[in-house]
Amino acid sequence: YINNTFEPKIIDKNGYLSIASSQDIVKFNSDLCWNNINLYLNILNYEGKYNVSLKKFKLETRKFYNEKSISTQDETIMKTTSFDNNSGRIQSGGNIIVEVDGSFKNGGGGTIEKNVSETIEYNTFNNETKVIKNEKREIHKDIYISELEKCGIIISIHKDITIKSCTFDNTFGIIIGKGQIKIQGEFIRNIYGLIYGEREVDTVSRMFYNNYVKERQEFQTVDLEKPIHEDQIIETKEWIKSGYYQWKGRIGHVIGQKEWVDTSHYEIHTKTETIFKGYEMKTIYFEGVEYPGYIFSMGNINLNIEELNYPGIIVCSDNSTNSSSGSSNNISNNIFSEHISKKPPSEIKNQLNEIPFKQILK
């Protein structure tokens, strides 16, 4: 176990206190404040349960998990197989370099419970039998639980951040670089996460997810408050018996003989009646959800990606002059340029003050 009572004396030629172990026996059991020490750890697993403050920090480990603060004045370099910064804070005045053979996760600020079942009731109506029937139906929706104050945070106060991994997941996480941010991964997810680069943001990926969308659900039901009535013309027949006598034949008037002429007939009577036909239908909507990711840059945004799924909010400066490539074009890979907004820096700052992460950024 290492704590503040440990006296660092083993310094390698590069000025680092080097600690190496092939077994999971090196742990911190209290906060560690060695602001004048460069520490190199080569251990099986790193479990960040305590705050660590160093001048420089290099870490090689199989599994990295952190829920506290790792702060360095000059530089932080990490190489690991899996990386999980769950509500932790990794901060440096210099560069931050993270290389992950497997999955990179920076989050902890919330969860999305997907396909939560809910039973709803609605009505149907049979036009023939005029019977209203109450029905039940199961729907599935997503529930968003926000705890943004617990976001995992990675921040370089003055310089660059470079992250290379197989899969990159910044869902409910924050990454801020005052210099350049470079992210590389087969899959990049930034669902309800924030990536903000003062100078430039570069991404290299096959698939990029910067938003989560679940389409709204809808179905038809009977609106019992809107009955349908229709005016119909009703026809009735009435037999009218009528007739008259007339002289029979040419000499009927001579011999005084008459015959009956029957003029009986049906008379058609019409009237208008209001008939109940049924009920209007209405559509019940169960709203979908959308949790956009946020990517902001005061300089360029370079999307070197093959597929962009749900672009979310992507904003870069409209007058950047700080591109490391020296290009005046703020957006590379024009196939996705329509998803990127270009705004003056002042408007970008205003938009940053409106996003859900604004309280954390202060």
Query: For the segment 266-280, what is each residue's pLDDT rounded down to a tens digit?
Result: 999 888 888 888 888
Predicted confidence (pLDDT) at residue 73 exceeds the cutoff of 90: yes
DSSP 8-57: ---B-TTSEEEEE-SSTT--B-S-EEEEEEEEEEEEEEEEE-S-EEEEEE
Q: What is the pLDDT of residue 286?
A: 72
Task: Express as a percent the part of the chain with pLDDT over 70.
Answer: 87
Q: CB count, 10 Å around CB of 246?
A: 12
Coil, strand, or helix at residue 252?
A: helix
* Most confident stretch, 40-54, 103-117, 129-143, 344-358: 40-54
Angle, vertex CA 224, rays to CA 220 and CA 225, nearest 5: 115
The predicted pLDDT at position 322 comes to 34
pTM: 0.73
Average pLDDT of span 354-360:
75
Lowest mean per-residue pLDDT among 43-52, 174-183, 241-250, 251-260: 251-260
Q: What confidence score (pLDDT) does residue 325 get?
A: 36
- Report for 48-57, 108-117, 283-292: range of highest mean pLDDT: 48-57
Most confident among 89-93, 312-316, 321-325 (mean pLDDT)? 89-93
pLDDT digits (tens, 9 = 90+) for 199-234: 899 999 988 888 877 777 777 888 888 888 888 888
Which of the residue ranges 150-154, 256-260, 289-293, 344-348 has the most confident prediction, judged by mean pLDDT? 150-154
Are 144 and 112 in contact, with CB atoms under 8 Å apart? Answer: yes
Closest by Cα among 88, 57, 98 to 184: 98
Give the count of beta carbons closer than 10 Å to the beta carbon of residue 221. 18
